[in-house]
Amino acid sequence: MAEEIIIVEGNGVLAGEVAVSGAKNSALKLIAAALLGQGETLVRNVPLISDISIMSEVLRRLGATVERDGHTLVVDTTDVEQFETPYDLVSKMRASISVLGPLVGRFGRARVAMPGGCQIGARKIDMHLVGLEALGVEFTIDHGFLEARTPNGLVGADVVLDFPSVGATENLLMAAVTAKGTTVLENAAREPEIVDLANMLVSMGAKVAGAGSSIIEVEGVPLSSLHPCDHTTVGDRIEAGTFLVGGALTGGPVTVRGIDPSYLRVALMKLAAMGCEVQTGADWVTVSRTRPLIPIDIQTLPHPGFPTDLQAQFMLLAARAEGVSVITENVFENRFMFASELIRMGADITIEDHHALVRGVAGLQGADVSSTDLRAGAALVLAGVSAEGQTRVHNIGHIDRGYEDYVGKLCDLGACVRRAPVDGMPDICG
């Protein structure tokens, strides 16, 4: 397939309603968890994105059958006998390391290629390994692969995470469900995606309590007690937040449906503090704005703090505010790479260590820019919607990793945006 870019004609228009897809960061782990079900599991509300395709192929290489019917994945792990994941797939996506926990839980061993993915930070897997070692897993590294074995079986333990890592919490949770005895995870991640995974594991026969809090307790059950299930993925809070930022940027109103507003509590508070009107319902949020954007101070933190995955989008908002904003990135050390692309469009941003000083400007100008990661790419498209002239966003494979039909949804909201081959396309919307 020819390389594509996203071309945006700045028209400053985003208004209407958009349905949020299933959460990428949840669905990926739910697919991995299906390995514990030893049968045909249905995972519903799964987004049509490239990361899901990669994770599906990881399971196929392990011997599973994975079929898609619209937004439902049918994952049959009955015939899975392999416990080695290939480098060519795992190196494309860090989330592939999530099969480590369920493979150890099912087979007592695993051979998993060291992960790759977005270049927004080291995101080392040390906490995964230390936690699993506490459960009785022994690790060796062999030519770029992690070799995991449990010579004495998985045994419950008290594990305190150095940092509330989402990935480490998920891997430990999926391994602990078959460990003998009780496992207590302290300083566990509290993200809604953790709760979603725990709910699926419980529906498979696992015994998990406390998900969504900093202490999760897992009472191990025999592998034979686990069974397939039918589970629906929660809505994607980051996709929802991205479109709501679009509403704040252009004035809206923009309504997102299919999301629990509580998942975005801090982000919605910040939107209100920036001068936006925020309305919420049981499964929807509307954002609009009729006055100038107010500068803001933001610090990214693990949930329930401000999500790092919305930092780039809010930096864009801060770039248009009337005054100086300060954004502090506490989660990923390289996530300010986005700033240099926004500066190309006329933003005034100074980076010092993990702080960004953002001085609001009257307007942005269209330019050729490149996605540096998934969320930065989405934010650059939004920047193009509000900018003067044409913006051409390159390296859009990052966007495809996490946003289903991003261009189509923006068009439905009134934006003048389209995908096109790198060369040979006209410069106006059709």
Which one-letter DSSP state was computed for residue 211? B
The tokens describing 370, both together, are 């490149």
3-state class of 288 per DSSP? strand
Q: Is 24 annotated as a binding residue?
A: yes
Q: Is 331 annotated as a binding residue?
A: yes
H/E run at residue 299? strand 297-299
Nearest of 227, 195, 228 to residue 25 by alpha carbon? 195
Tell me phi and psi for residue 260, to 5 degrees: -80, 115
Contact partners, residue 32, CB within 8 Å, separation at least 6: 55, 59, 98, 99, 101, 102, 174
**Rounded CA separation 399/405 (Å):** 10
**Rounded CA separation 165/113 (Å):** 20
Angle 314-120-269 from CA coordinates, rounded to 5°: 25
Q: What is the CA radius of gyration of the chain?
A: 22
**Rounded CA separation 73/66 (Å):** 7
- Burial code (b: 16+ CB inside 10 Å, e: under 16) for 37-58 equals bbebbbbbbbbebebbbbbbbb
Q: Is 25 annotated as a binding residue?
A: yes
Nearest of 377, 336, 376 to residue 358 by alpha carbon? 336
* Count of other CB atoms within 10 angstroms of residue 281: 10
The answer to whether 204 and 226 have CB atoms below 8 angstroms apart is: yes
Q: Is 373 annotated as a binding residue?
A: no
3-state class of 65 per DSSP? strand
AA letter at 118: C
Of the residues 118, 229, 276, 416, only one is catalytic, namely 118
- Is 118 marked active-site? yes
The answer to whether 1 and 171 have CB atoms below 8 angstroms apart is: no
Residue count of the chain: 430
Q: Is 309 annotated as a binding residue?
A: yes
User: Which residues are documented as binding site for phosphoenolpyruvate?
Assistant: 24-25
Question: Could you give the residue numbers annotated as active site?
Answer: 118
